[in-house]
Amino acid sequence: MRSLVARLSSEHEGNRAEPWKMSEDPRDYMQDMVRAIFGIEIEITSLIGKYKLSQDDGARDMRGGGVGLRAEGESVISAEMLRLSNNGAIGENG
């Protein structure tokens, strides 16, 4: 599981100016986080989409994420995050 998390982190953080690495956090903390992950393999037979653009931390945090993604060139996702956070669809507390 640890190697999968490391690979996913590298893939999604690798293009950032300051990419996060698992080695940056205390080893015991990362062991606890990885231990909390339950991995499964699922065969996909159909796909229906839905999105989640924040961690329920409120509009301010979603705006911050949208601004950060826009600065990294992620124009589609950032535009949707900014639209939702600015139109009142997401409250300040989630």
For the segment 1-31, what is each residue's pLDDT rounded down to a tens digit? 888 888 988 898 888 888 888 888 899 999 9
The pLDDT score that the predictor gives to residue 28 is 92
Provide, rounded to the nearest whole percent, the portion of the chain with pLDDT above 70.
93
Closest to 54 measured CA to CA, from 36, 68, 42, 37: 68
Cβ atoms of 9 and 41 within 8 Å: the answer is no
Q: How long is the chain?
A: 94
Whole-number Å distance between alpha carbons of 22 and 42: 26
The DSSP symbol for 1 reads -
Closest to 76 measured CA to CA, from 66, 88, 63: 66
Long-range contacts of residues 12-15, Cβ cutoff 8 Å, at least 24 apart: 15/72
Q: Is 43 helix (H, G, I), strand (E, B) or coil?
A: coil
